[in-house]
Structure 1
């Protein structure tokens, strides 16, 4: 890897699913599975562990949006319950699938950039 080349911004690299060190290699091998290492610079992805962070942020964001939309729909249009179920179900599943991979990438890139490790007692 070229030492003079600056590191990419972690949020941008994570959202695109790119390597947090070089910004070119792919971070994911499947939908949510990390590759063993970067194919461009060789960064080892085995130490990346975003834990439940992506799930928490996805649930929070999707929950706020879906509940807000449901309240607005009820006040404005008063639709039958099946419309609420159809809209809320579709949005919940769609937004969750759309957000989980980019958020996992961002948390992994921030973990690498900030050199985050498991906490230890002395």
Structure 2
């Protein structure tokens, strides 16, 4: 028997760290090969490789909140440092930080959504606990 089979039979949590890393890479938390997402933010109904079901996930607003939290905590202090150290023109400062915030948000959002789905999978939340 594999470790995953033993875990499924005993009902304990699955390994969290590898699942989160796979989810952050937008891969299946179970096999690490198939894609969790398609068309930017839509979660696949199941993994195309190992057939792990994802249709019962409940990611909802969690990835957006995490994205705002991370981007705000990174860009806020950076804005203060850049303003105090270099004193750029207001329009230049706005343009640089608007593009930076937008780029970082668009980069993080699908990765955090994959990580939230992987967290739910690892902790057997919202239907991920059923044996398949």
Q: Which has the higher helix share?
A: 2
Cα deviation code 1:24-79 (max 9, x no counterpart): 11111211111121111111111112111111111011112111111011111111
Which residue in the other structure is 2:2 paired with?
Answer: 4
Distance in 2, matches of 1:97 and 1:48, equals 21
Distance 1:43 1:26 in 2: 11
Tell me how far apart the structure 2 counterparts of residues 19 and 64 of structure 1 sit (CA, whole Å): 29
1:30 and 2:28 correspond: no
- Residue 4 of structure 1: how far off its partner (Å): 2.5
Q: Could you tell me which residue of structure 2 aligns to residue 44 of structure 1?
A: 53
Report the alpha carbon displacement of residue 5 of structure 1 after superposing the two structures with TM: 6.5
1:85 aligns with 2:98: no
The residue number in structure 2 matching 1:65 is 74
TM-score by length of 1: 0.86
The aligned counterpart of 1:16 is 25
Residues in 2 aligned to 1:102 and 1:37: alpha-carbon distance in whole angstroms: 17
Matches of 2:86 and 2:33, distance apart in 1: 48
Q: 2:85 aligns with which of 73, 76, 80?
A: 76
The more displaced of 106-115 and 34-43 is 34-43
How many residue pairs match? The answer is 116
Q: TM-score, normalised by structure 2?
A: 0.80
**How far apart are residue 108 of structure 1 and its match?**
0.3
Identify the match of residue 118 of structure 2 among 104, 109, 118: 109
